[in-house]
Structure 1
Amino acid sequence: MPGFLLPLLILSPLAASVILFLFAKRISARGAGLLAAGSVGFSAVISMVLAFLLLSRTNADPFQITLWEWMRTADISAHMSFLLDPVSLVMILVVTVVGFLIHLYAARYMADDPGIARFFGCMTLFVAAMLVLVLASDLFCLFIGWEGVGLCSYLLIGFWYENPANTAAARKAFYITRIGDTAMLCGLLLLMTSAGGSLQISHILSAVTTGQLSSSVVSGAALFLLIGALAKSAQIPFQTWLPDAMAGPTPTSALIHAATMVTAGVYLIARLHMLFTAAPLVMTLMAVTGTLTLLMAACTALVQTDLKRILAWSTISQLGYMFLALGTGIWQAALFHLVTHAFFKALLFLTAGAIIARVHHEQNIFRMGGLFRAMPGVAAAFLAGASALAGLPLITAGFYSKEMILSSVWPASFALAPGLALSGHLLWGAALAGAFLTALYIFRCVFIIFPGQPQTAISGRTPRLMAIPLACLAFLSLAGGFVEMPDALVPVHLFTHMLAPAAAGSSAAISPDAVSHIAISGAEAPRWLLLAGGIAPVAGLAVAWVLWGRTRPVMREVPGQAAIVSLARAGSGTDRLYDVFFVQPFRFLAWLTRHDIIDGLITGAGRMTRRLSLFFLQVRAGSLGLASAGTITMTREGDLLLTRLQNGRVRWYAAWIVAGLCAALASALLA
């Protein structure tokens, strides 16, 4: 395999980013779009060539290239090295192919924005950083890409920085993800110090397999890395940053906050699945967190009115499914859902952008309506994405990826303590309820936005350059799941067979005590599970039609107590808790610092100490002066008295002797 293709894959969008930043004021809008889309498209072509070369090889060995040694000390070694295996191949295809379609769409969508060169500079830099992340064979190199996508996310969320709300959303995303990044760095340092100073992924996994790492080190490192993944993928309790990130341009939401960056946490765990499999309690925590997140986010999406925020909460919910699959041990199902989710969620965001642009940037779904007659093509694309998101059976990619997860969870067992386990039936039931809610809230949008009478003025047409990516993504959203189908329908397992070389060493890393939580293959699951997984989204569609789809809908808003609905719209109150326990105390400290309160207290204490010191110094000086003067006076008077007594006259001496003798005799007689 040509060794120059992997660096060239990253260099193409990176070079475009540098050019766009350097010549932002000189390059035209059309030139910026052409350069950005061309560079990512070139990377997509390279990805397809690499896929052909890797999958056509007779041996299953991955391809690895080391560019240079980054650092070496007596205890640490780190390299800039890339690894191409089936797992990273899946990710680079998603990043480059979906990224190219989004860049093509954005070239027309952002054509009238004066900052288009800066926008595409950030977008192409993000693609380059994401490729570094997924291709890295050293965890230090992976961390560089991890921080790079975080930086680009901050820049793109706050792209329209003239609005203070946008910059606040960018800071919020930056702060919350930095918490996870700090935890991740702690996990990397723990692995490095325990595994001989190297963070090569193969070396780490080999250390886990051979038992070089103790169970406490494995559990601690897995927990730290899980926190980093949860923050990057907006899972409980870090979910609050992603809905606010919708402040950025819609292509940003499609690329970064739906298809790629938020899935970085899923990729990290899938890449290190041997490490996590050896930590059963961490796997249980992962599965439970994913389940709670998918339910909470689905309920929150059901009461939102902003179209982009509905899709944002939907992203959080679907990421919860991926973490549930990862916690179950079926990381192949998580990657499969990652791929299909990239297709239909990018499609939904891009169609949402086309809708919002034609209704004069109105995002409230209740102020739309009647859009099917005005934009039938966009409506059909949105319906394809909504069907895939809901997982309508047989005809959508989302059904097959979600069914693979549900079938894997049912027979699983999750370790809680020695001799105590959590049945997978409970989590399966919660995930099935999440599938029902998903269909309910997304078809709520469909029935409110497209049928009925227009609620606002509709103008313009969707440009062809925006329509082409929508058509491609709609096709992938419907047909992209046919590469992996259950045996009960058609025994097609192209996706898992492609990942088989990456999973070949997994069994060696799993100890007998750590297998209780891992589900059996979906092919062995009862057929009624497939039926239940197909009925749930259809039931959600039917209920959504009854409530919002008829000529006279039963309701507009979801009924309930105002406080409950308000809490759900605010993201289950997490923002309020963060505000009380973290933001307000920090602001109080900032207020103290800004008004020099602490400095004033310190200065006042210093002045008081200085005055007390002067007072005690004066008291001491006065006391010593008085004592010294009294001593001198007494000495002088005593000296005068002795001088008077010692005057040299003999008769006075004889008189004093006689007086003393008389006094002594008198004393003796009286005694």
Structure 2
Amino acid sequence: MNPNTLWLIPLSPLLGFLINGTVGRKLPRPFVTAIALIATIIPAVKVFQLWLFMKFAADGPLTMSVVSRPWIDITNFHVDFALSVDHLTLIMLGVVTGVGFLIHLYAAGYMAHEDGYWRFFAYLNLFMFFMSVLVLADSFLLLFVGWEGVGLASYLLIGFYFTKTSAANAGKKAFILNRVGDFGFLLAMFLLIAHFGTLSFSEVFASITANPGLHGGFLTAIALLLLVGAAGKSAQIPLYVWLPDAMEGPTPVSALIHAATMVTAGVYMVARCHTLFDRSPFALAVVACIGAATAIFAACIALVQHDIKRVLAYSTVSQLGYMFLACGVGAYTAGIFHVLTHAFFKALLFLAAGSVIHALSGEQDMRVMGGLRKRIPVTFWTMTMGVFAIAGIPPLAGFFSKDEILFQAYSWTAYPALGKLLWLVGLITAGMTSFYMFRLWFKTFFGAERFDEHHLGDTSHNAEHDDSEATHSHGVHESSWIMLAPLVILAILSVVGGWVGVPAALGGHNEIEHFLEPVFASGIAEPLAVASHGSEIGLAAVSVITALLGFMLAYLWYYKKPGTAAALAQRFPHPYNLVANKFFVDEIYNAIFVTGLLGFTRIFLKGFDSIVVDGFGKFAGWVAFDFGEVTRRIQSGNIRSYAGWLALGAAAVMVVMIFGRFWV
């Protein structure tokens, strides 16, 4: 296979963006749709061909690279504009292009009646271009270009309804918080240049591998700075607050950016840099602790959310914490495995939530839903698969990937005591995940119908009131098949997608571990756990029991005795209000950083800018004006005045000529 064809993967969506972004306004909507879908399906087909070649061909390489030309070539520093594919890249590309295509297809139906249809698909293709560049990059610098590009595209997509203040603010919030994380990424690159003289992945990692004694020190600093960038992009504590607000964008945007692509970029970057992180146990411990803390913290908030999309948003933050937990304990394969399964079931959940919103003409509040399983049966059954998958019910996809993470945390050899604590946090989070997802399931699809069918379409109180056909249709209705087909495919993947990682203890061969072995075989600081089948099965049983307990609690509180949760909230108002208000983190950030920064700028404006900058300008103007007032008299137009000045000048010259020798 010709490596030069790798350029098709990023360039196809770029071409789709250029066409729809320039002339899409004048094209019929079917043409816009066709351009966007073709621009997405070409990379998906190419990735599938690459997988067949690298997996099954007799001479299939472990990596494929293509170099365009030297990008930066100055004294002692050289970077090529190069793309590279290995087994880790293939998995990420499969998620980006495969799930991305399904979301594009769904969006064609969901956004059918929206203004700016061409603009929406141009932005989607732009996002796909930058995400492909990020994953294919052969250097930190090119990865950073894709990294910044998806930040730009996400800003455009989140703020798609830019006439809404909340959407515009959400886009700005995501953009600014990601820039905070990117500052850490930039500092890490400067340190890499200072210590290695290159930003090429292969050269940096080869240099680390060639020095077995290289541990900690500046490697820890680089790893922690990279973690800052990853925390911003993947919504980890303390930079997670942008992702829930990003639900202001259309639902397909939520599925694409916040389930399958952008938010997993930080996990991908940590896994890609495993050789570096493995040399710093402290940095790995920080990654694991931040991941575990984010997982349980976001799960707590998701317990009491009423907006169906915000439940899924905080769930995404929590599941990303699981992925960081896996990478922190050195189980990179388990982390990437969860990236894969999460892409299936979380994209499904977001798109199914969009179908529910579509059916109720824009309604997002679960308190006014209920009884929808018979009204929208396809949406119900597909979403059910997603709910059971994320809850960790075997043999669905989420069970295998989440169980592997918990097992590796429990068996962490670098810090055994910390590993047990992280396992416990992860287990509690698993139970909470099961509870809030079945809570969503029962409140949306079961019980009495709590919506007024005659007033559907009056969506002025909803976050996404302009979405889909909300203002164009009335009455509960199932979505069209252009929207349902992606749901069915993702539901099937949510069931069987985890079977590629069934461990030997459960009768499988863990195919994904063998597939990724060439990538993660080197540089592991501590060996991963190899436990007996009995202990692994026992830990799996505990996680399943925990998931079932979450289901039973949700069943009792929201189906059997639906008033129980409300009664508990009234009995314990202070803890409930604390969680319902998201622990007031946004308010704290606003008081400390936003208000503080605005206060500083006002002081700076009135102090330094007004007094020093403006004062110096005014002083310079005053001097120039007064000097001009004096010197303009020289040009009076009076001949006698000119003669006087000439005589005075001649006298001065004579004085200098006569007495100057005494001064020298």
TM-score of the superposed pair, with normalisation by structure 1: 0.85
Paired position in structure 1 for 2:381: 380
Matches of 1:607 and 1:90 in 2, distance apart?
A: 60
* 2:114 aligned partner: 113
Gapped regions of structure 2 (runs ≥ 5): 454-474, 624-664
Q: Does 1:475 align with 2:472?
A: no
CA shift in 2, pair 1:63/1:524, >3 Å? farther
1:540 counterpart residue number = 550
8 Å contact 1:298–1:437 — kept in the other structure? yes
Partner Cα distance (2:577, 2:37) in 1: 41
AA at the equivalent of 2:207: A
Cα distance in 2, alignment partners of residues 123 and 341 from structure 1: 20
Q: What is aligned with 2:640? A: none
C-alpha distance in 1 between matches for 2:513 and 2:553: 35
Which deviations, in whole Å up to 9, do the C-alpha atoms of 1:509-539 show, x marking residues without a partner? 34xxx428x5446968542111112111111
Q: Please say if residues 234 and 263 of structure 2, whose CA atoms lie closer than 8 Å, have aligned partners that are also in contact.
A: yes
Q: Which has the larger displacement, 202-211 or 262-271?
A: 202-211
Q: Counterpart in 2 of 1:360?
A: 361
Q: Tell whether the 8 Å contact from 1:407 to 1:525 is kept in structure 2 after alignment.
A: no
AA in 2 matched with 1:205: F
Report the Cα offset of residue 215 of structure 1: 3.1
Structure 2 CA distance for aligned equivalents of residues 103 and 325 of structure 1: 30
Match of 2:645 in 1: none
1:627 corresponds in structure 2 to: none
Question: How far apart are the structure 2 equivalents of 1:532 and 1:155?
Answer: 43
1:400 partner letter = F
Task: Provide closer, same or farther for how the CA distance between residues 277 and 433 of structure 1 changes in structure 2, counting only shifts above 3 A.
Answer: same
Q: How far, CA to CA, are the matches of 2:299 and 2:323 in structure 1?
A: 14
In the TM superposition, what is the alpha-carbon distance from 1:558 to its structure 2 partner?
A: 5.7
Deviation per residue, 1:470-514 (Å, 9 max, x gap):
00000000111111112222122111111122123x1xx34xxx4
> Counterpart of 2:442?
447
Q: Work out which of the residue numbers 498, 502, 513 in structure 1 matches 2:515.
A: 498
Whether the aligned pair in 1 keeps the contact of 2:274 and 2:520 (CA below 8 Å) is no
Q: Which structure: larger Rg?
A: 1
**8 Å contact kept, 1:368–1:454:** yes
Question: 1:607 & 1:169 partners in 2: Cα distance?
Answer: 39
User: Which structure 2 residues correspond to residues 621-636 of structure 1 after superposition, within 5 A?
Assistant: none
Q: SS of the counterpart of 1:4?
A: helix
One-letter amino acid of the counterpart of residue 278, structure 2: T
SS of corresponding position for 2:84:
strand
Q: Check whether the contact 1:33–1:106 (CA below 8 A) recurs between aligned residues.
A: no
Q: How does 1:273-422 map to 2 (within 5 A)?
A: 273-394=274-395, 396-415=396-415, 422=417
**Alpha-carbon offset, residue 30 of structure 1:** 2.0
**Given the superposition, is the C-alpha separation of residues 43 and 561 from structure 1 closer, same or farther in structure 2, using an over 3 Å criterion?**
same
**What are the Cα deviations for residues 634-656 of structure 1, in whole angstroms up to 9, with x where unaligned?**
xxxxxxxxxxxxxxxxxxxxxxx
**Native 8 Å contact 1:235 1:316 kept in 2:** yes
Partner of 1:566: 577
Residue 526 to residue 478, structure 1, CA distance change in 2 (3 Å)? closer
Equivalent position of 1:488 in the other structure: 505
| CA deviation string 1:327-376 (max 9, x = no partner) | 00010000000000000000000011111112121111001111111111
- Does the C-alpha gap of structure 1 residues 602 and 217 become closer, same or farther in structure 2, counting only changes over 3 Å? closer
* Equivalent residue number for residue 219 of structure 2: 218
Tell me the equivalent position of 1:649.
Answer: none
The 8 Å contact of residues 410 and 419 in structure 2, kept in 1 or not, is answered as yes
Corresponding residue for residue 232 of structure 2: 231
Q: 2:465 matched to which residue of 1?
A: none
Which residue number corresponds to residue 640 of structure 1?
Answer: none
Counterpart contact for 1:413–1:423, Cα < 8 Å: no
Superposed, which structure 2 residues align to 1:8-47 within 5 Å? Answer: 8-47=8-47
Instruction: State the 1:377 CA deviation.
Output: 1.0
State the one-letter code of the partner of 1:571. K
Structure 2 Cα separation of the partners of residues 55 and 27 of structure 1: 41
**Structure 1: which amino acid aligns with 2:182?**
D
Matched residues in 2 for 1:607 and 1:276: separation?
Answer: 52
Q: What is the rounded CA distance, in whole Å, between the counterparts of 2:341 and 2:94 in structure 1? A: 12
- The alignment partner of 2:239 has SS state of coil
Q: What is the identity, as a one-letter code, of the residue corresponding to 2:540?
A: L
Letter in 1 for 2:518: P
Contact 2:505-2:534 at 8 Å conserved across structures: no
Q: Per the alignment, do residues 449 and 557 of structure 1 end up closer, same or farther by CA in structure 2, a change over 3 Å counting?
A: farther
Residues of 1 paired with 2:149 and 2:613: CA distance?
A: 43
- Please name the residue that 1:554 is paired with: 564
One-letter amino acid of the counterpart of residue 511, structure 2: L
Match of residue 623 from structure 1 = none
Cα offsets for 1:430-467 (capped at 9, x unmatched): 10100000000000011111111211124333101001
3-state secondary structure, aligned to 2:67: strand
Q: CA deviation at 1:551?
A: 6.1
User: What is the aligned partner in structure 2 of residue 577 from structure 1?
Assistant: 588
Asked whether the equivalents of residues 360 and 477 of structure 2 are also in contact (C-alpha less than 8 Å), the reply is no
Contact 2:506–2:537 (8 Å) recurs in 1: no
Residues 546, 553 of structure 1: 8 Å contact kept? no
Cα deviation code 1:529-584 (max 9, x no counterpart): 11112111111111110111226542347626434333323332221221121100
Residue 261 of structure 1, CA deviation: 0.2
CA–CA distance in structure 2, aligned partners of residues 204 and 399 of structure 1: 36
Which deviates the most, 447-456 or 469-478? 447-456
The residue identity in structure 2 corresponding to 1:564 is P
**Deviates further, 176-185 or 33-42:** 33-42
Q: How far has the Cα of 1:28 moved from its partner?
A: 2.0
User: Cα gap change, 1:177/1:609 in structure 2, threshold over 3 Å: closer, same or farther?
Assistant: closer
Could you list the per-position Cα deviations for residues 607-665 of structure 1 after superposition, in whole angstroms to 9, with x for gaps in the alignment? 9999xx9xxxxxxxxxxxxxxxxxxxxxxxxxxxxxxxxxxxxxxxxxxxxxxxxxxxx
5+ long unaligned stretches in structure 1:
416-420, 614-671
Matches of 2:358 and 2:551, distance apart in 1? 27
Q: What is the distance in 2 between the residues matched to 1:541 and 1:106?
A: 32
**Equivalent-residue separation in structure 2 for 1:221 and 1:175 (angstroms):** 22
Whether the 8 Å CA contact 1:398–1:481 is kept in 2: the answer is yes
Matched, 1:252 2:253: yes
- Letter matched to residue 168 of structure 2: T
Match of 1:427? 422
What is the aligned counterpart of 2:480 among 463, 484, 495? 463
How far is the alpha carbon of 1:318 from its aligned partner?
A: 0.3
1:174: how far off? 0.6
Shift of 1:597: 6.1
Q: 1:280 to 1:386 in 2, by over 3 A?
A: same
- How many residue pairs are counted as aligned between the two chains? 596
Q: Deviations over 1:405-444 (max 9, x none)?
A: 11111111445xxxxx643111111101000000000000
Q: 1:58 to 1:199 in 2, by over 3 A?
A: farther
TM-score calculated relative to the size of structure 2: 0.86
Structure 1 204/541 Cα, relative in aligned 2: closer, same or farther at 3 Å? Answer: same
Q: Are the aligned partners of 1:296 and 1:572 in contact in 2 as well (CA < 8 Å)?
A: no
Other-structure match for 1:437: 432
Asked whether the equivalents of residues 355 and 478 of structure 2 are also in contact (C-alpha less than 8 Å), the reply is: no
Shift of 1:599: 4.5
Percent of aligned positions that are identical: 38
**DSSP-derived class of the 1:18 partner:** helix
2:478 is matched by which residue type in structure 1? R
Cα shift readout 1:144-169 (whole Å, capped 9, x = no counterpart): 11111111010001011001111111
Counterpart CA distance in 2 for 1:256 and 1:207 is 34
SS at match of 2:447: coil
For residues 380-401 of structure 1, give each alpha carbon's deviation from its aligned partner in whole angstroms, at most 9, with x where no partner exists.
Answer: 111111111111122x100011
2: CA distance, partners of 1:106 / 1:480: 23
Distance 1:548 1:582 in 2: 39
Contact 2:13 2:129 in 1 (8 A): yes
- Counterpart AA for 2:440: C
Are the equivalent residues in 2 in contact too, given 1:240–1:571 (CA < 8 A)? no
